[in-house]
Amino acid sequence: MLIYLLKRLAAIVPTLLGVLTITFLVTQFVPGGPVDHMLAQIDGADVRSGGEAESSGGWSYSGRSGIDAAQIGQLSELYGFDRPPLERYWQMLKNFARFEFGDSYFHNQSVWSLIKDKLGVSVSLGVWTFFLTYLVSVPLGIAKAVRAGSRFDFITSLLVLAGYAVPGFVLGVLLILLFGGGSFWDIFPLRGLTSDNFDELTPLGKATDYLWHVTLPVIASVVSHFAMKTLLTKNMFLEEIRRQYVLTARAKGLSERQVLWKHVFRNTLLPLVTGFPATFIAAFFTGSLLIETLFSIDGLGLLSYESINSRDYPVVLGTLYLFTLIGLFVKLAGDIAYVLVDPRIRFSAQEN
């Protein structure tokens, strides 16, 4: 196990290096970099001051023609694009090795401070999504396995598959139309995780206000996540229930509850544990971009989306670096939990 862990830890370095290299090549050489983005804003400001209408999205930019070369040089130097790409690449690797991500091009603060400001929001949504996924899918999967073939199993299967077929973003739009004042009922708020007067509320009022804001985003995230986990739990339980040791336990006089939770559940825990990393990553990162953008929640997902649009490369690279690093360590933690659940598992076969 120790040798396996050392190998996995050693593999983290080339994985991070590959992710950063590919992302650097993409971000540094695609058209419309941060210099062009800033020039577009300046060009748009000049158009508006001249009394002409600005194009949609603020991009009334007609290229670098007519822009003072000295101004372009100053912007290139400000963003570090006056140096050769290879030099910038090596400098990026040195900084990232020390977890120094630099400063945002457009937020006037460091990338670290931006991440710390937004991290709590994404963690809040991710924790709710992660735990509710398991709290719903595992009991529901067990109930479906115990009542396999019944009307309950049939109806819940239709609901689960329907939830899986509808993407979280589409479900979020539907929830807004139904309950967010879109076309029917104006029940839940649509922006942020707290109200503007949050600091003035009592502790109970703060908790209620937070839960009121988080309801729709969490529902949109959870519904699309728990379907596969529910079906996996059901199938694993059905497979274990048909085994000989279950018949033996029942023959010894154990109650059905003892058979299910003491014997069957323990043996089906292994595949559920192995799904922890994928569920964790999906809850915290995969769905956060669309959900946070849709509900205007100021978290890491929305920050990444805005950074890509504005070509804020330090923020793009910094968040991607952290996401990749967290994902690798979570996967490693899942493997460790895999062994803790079943010590018989060996990741590397011994040679004879």
Q: What is the pLDDT of residue 54?
A: 42
Q: What is the pLDDT of residue 204?
A: 92
Q: What is the pLDDT of residue 60?
A: 45
Give tens-digit pLDDT for 192-203.
888 888 888 888
Q: What is the pLDDT of residue 51?
A: 42
Q: What is the pLDDT of residue 110?
A: 92
Q: What is the pLDDT of residue 50?
A: 46
Give tens-digit pLDDT for 212-266.
988 998 888 888 777 778 888 888 888 888 888 888 888 888 887 888 877 787 7
Mean pLDDT of 164-171: 82
Q: What is the pLDDT of residue 154?
A: 92
Give tens-digit pLDDT for 17-63.
999 999 888 887 777 777 777 777 766 544 444 444 344 344 444 45
Compute the mean pLDDT over every residue in the chain, rounded to the nearest whole number. 79
Least confident stretch, 151-155, 287-291, 304-308: 287-291
**Residue 148 pLDDT greater than 60, yes or no:** yes
Mean pLDDT of 100-114: 89
**Residue 176 pLDDT greater than 60, yes or no:** yes
What share of the chain has pLDDT > 70, as a percent?
81
Give the global pTM: 0.74
**Residue 318 pLDDT greater than 60, yes or no:** yes
Q: What is the pLDDT of residue 155?
A: 92
Q: What is the pLDDT of residue 351?
A: 42
**Residue 124 pLDDT greater than 50, yes or no:** yes
Where residue 81 falls among pLDDT bands split at 50, 70, 90? confident
Mean pLDDT of 137-147: 88
Bigger pLDDT: 274 vs 176:
176
Mean pLDDT of 57-75: 60
Q: What is the pLDDT of residue 17?
A: 92
| Domain boundaries defined on the chain | 114-341
Mean pLDDT of 309-319: 88
The full 3-state SS of the chain, as one line of letters, equals: CHHHHHHHHHHHHHHHHHHHHHHHHHHHHCCCCHHHHHHHHHHHHHHHHCCCCCCHHHCCCCCCCCCCHHHHHHHHHHCCCCCCHHHHHHHHHHHHHCCCCCECCCCCCEHHHHHHHHHHHHHHHHHHHHHHHHHHHHHHHHHHHHCCCCHHHHHHHHHHHHHHHCCHHHHHHHHHHHHECCCCCECCCCCCCCCCCHHHCCHHHHHHHHHHHHHHHHHHHHHCCHHHHHHHHHHHHHHHHCCHHHHHHHHCCCCHHHHHHHHHHHHHHHHHHHCHHHHHHHHHHHCHHHHHHHCCCCCHHHHHHHHHHCCCHHHHHHHHHHHHHHHHHHHHHHHHHHHHHCCCCCCCCCCC
Per CATH, the homologous superfamily of domain 114-341 is MetI-like (1.10.3720.10)
Q: What is the pLDDT of residue 348?
A: 58
